[in-house]
Chain A
Amino acid sequence: LAKTTQPISMDSYEGQEVNITCSHNNIATNDYITWYQQFPSQGPRFIIQGYKTKVTNEVASLFIPADRKSSTLSLPRVSLSDTAVYYCLVGDKASGTYKYIFGTGTRLKVLA
């Protein structure tokens, strides 16, 4: 069962780059790494997903080293609206379908 470990909380200032690292030592060969963002009283929202090396989209970058036992979500130039909880997920595949296990997430607070 793949589990993830993230820092509980982080503070940053507007305009800075934020890097959130996730540890997933037991990741399986076919597992992808997915990051979600959640605002209070809302469902989590997909940010980015990757398998290895680097993935970039319009909102974030995801860095995955060769051993895939960790990953780093990078948010460039954060704003106050990026204040949220960020979850790193690794799929737990069983019976042909994935069961995603959420950790406690990282509470990011962006300060003015």
Chain B
Amino acid sequence: AQKVTQAQTEISVVEKEDVTLDCVYETRDTTYYLFWYKQPPSGELVFLIRRNSFDEQNEISGRYSWNFQKSTSSFNFTITASQVVDSAVYFCALSENMEYGNKLVFGAGTILRVKS
């Protein structure tokens, strides 16, 4: 069965610090997708990234970067020079069903608090 574990329940940092959110997943499939979503206080989940299991290249988008390591079944997310606006709940998710790619299994989320 699929499972996503986000061991960090809550992280607090001071503005401008770097922070890494951990995600470990379990799946029997060799083909799957991994995602990160951000949930600000408004409640609306915002898509951040999608990565397929064949592409282990790390990705950088502005202050965000993602480290995908198949060998350790991890897909970690780093925010560089954090800002107060980054405060939110962040969810890692997994999809095995490539046809219904958006049937996602989510982790429990990590609450990120960035203090000024």
Q: Do A and B bind each other?
A: no
Residues of A within 8 A of B (CB): none
